[in-house]
Amino acid sequence: MDNSYDVVVIGGSAAGLTAAITSRRFYPEKSVIIVRKEEKVLIPCGIPYIYGTLESPLKNLVPDAVLEKNNIELLVGNVTAIDISSKTIETKKGNRIKYEKLIIATGSIPAVPPISGSEKENVYVINKDVNYLQNLLDKVESSSDMIIIGGGFIGMEFADECNKNRDINITVVEMLPCCLMIAFDEDICRQGEDILKKNGVNIITNAKVEAIVGDVKVEGVKLSDGKIIKADIVLIGIGSKPNTEIAKNSGIELGEKGSIKVNRYMQTSDEDIFACGDCCEKISFFTKKLSNMMLASIACNEARIAGANLYKNNRANEGVVGVFATAFGETALARAGLSLQEAKENGYDVVAGTAEAPNTHPGCMPGGKNLKVILIFERGTGIILGGQLIGSKSGGEMINLISACIHEKMTANNMATFQMGTHPALTASPVAYQISNAAEMAVKELRK
């Protein structure tokens, strides 16, 4: 198959799909095709929920109907090469496709630390492959002792989900003093750990895995202090690294951390090639330094910029704010922007305001649950730098509102006096609304 398209997108997950849809919206006269290696595309953030709530990888798929709806063609094939001079890509099966504009959205692959024994049977990483994840699910169902290496979002979500409705002993091993510590300040980390501990998950922190032991199959994990913990299955969930091999081999410039180098319009070193998602370089919204943050929400944001800029610069990337959330049981934990610790490490003089209230009014309304909000502001300017929250699941949307305030550089006074809508069954009381009151507490500090 030798074909020519105006816009070719390599990769069909969050970034690739969003970039293709955006390019179709901005340039409706152009032909668009996605080339992806997966027959079925998983929802990346939903992968842990396969092991409890969803019960199958087939319930965690992105439907292809959205492609037909947007008049986007699809080729399932593994792209092996990009020829910049002839403006063509080639797949493993020999398909050659000529492009006018190319978007690389090849995502990321699991990061595997150099741990002795990681090649043993029943040691898994988080591959975004339906059959692989089904095999992992089958193994979890028959296992009695599971160890998860890494206490970040993925590790903790897997622990929470694998623990549901199973007689399985789960241990999370984290090398930092707290799980979730890269995301949250210590107080919220501890509360998150406590929820899982109360549900029977074992958590070991300040511990480094030295080796995975056993003959052919895994039998346990050896920590750096010599202690061996029994295991018949091990999941390595320490994060991901950019998938950039195709770009690198084509001569596209990579940044100092190995990601595809892009400008603020998501354009690579080749003016007709763009990149978005986990495979490309990111900078912080605050410091303008390189950022390691990989999130599906960031990938989609970059994709909306890349897809809009193919033939004309319509949008610019202002950097990664960093907005993320998780939930253990009925408790949400979320953050936007800088944590208190990060703000101080980056030289900011900060004040914080805290407010807690039920998410209904009165709090005895059905579904009422407390929601605690912490807002962080720069002392000199009063501009918001970050926010964290824990409590009601409604916090999953409130953190997005906080992110918008960060993006627009609102001040504590702005946030204390913005007009919110409230309703007894839907929100906190207007008197106790958490964002306004946390901002007011910060204003009190700013006035000292």
Q: What is the DSSP string of 390-424?
A: EESTTHHHHHHHHHHHHHTT-BHHHHHH------T
DSSP conformational letter for 260: B
pLDDT at 365: 86
Residues of the chain scoring pLDDT < 50? none
CATH 3.50.50.60 occupies which residues in the chain?
2-109+241-308, 123-238
pLDDT at 367: 84
Question: Inter-axis angle of helices 296-308 and 14-26, to 10 degrees?
Answer: 30
323-446 belongs to which CATH class?
Answer: alpha beta
CATH topology of domain 123-238: FAD/NAD(P)-binding domain (3.50.50)
Cis peptide preceding 63, ω within 30 of 0:
no
Q: What CATH number should be reported for the domain whose range is 2-109+241-308?
A: 3.50.50.60
pLDDT at 239: 87
Biggest CA–CA distance in the chain, Å, is 71
| Torsion angle of C-alpha atoms 401, 406, 410, 415, degrees rounded to 10 | 40
pLDDT at 285: 96
pLDDT at 395: 93
pLDDT at 401: 96
Q: Is the pTM of this model over 0.95?
A: no
Main-chain dihedrals φ then ψ at residue 26, nearest 5 degrees: -80, -30
Q: Judge contact between 262 and 292, C-beta under 8 A.
A: no
**Residue 382: half-sphere exposure toward Cβ, Cα within 13 Å:** 17
CATH 3.30.390.30 occupies which residues in the chain?
323-446
Separation of alpha carbons 444 and 441, rounded Å: 5
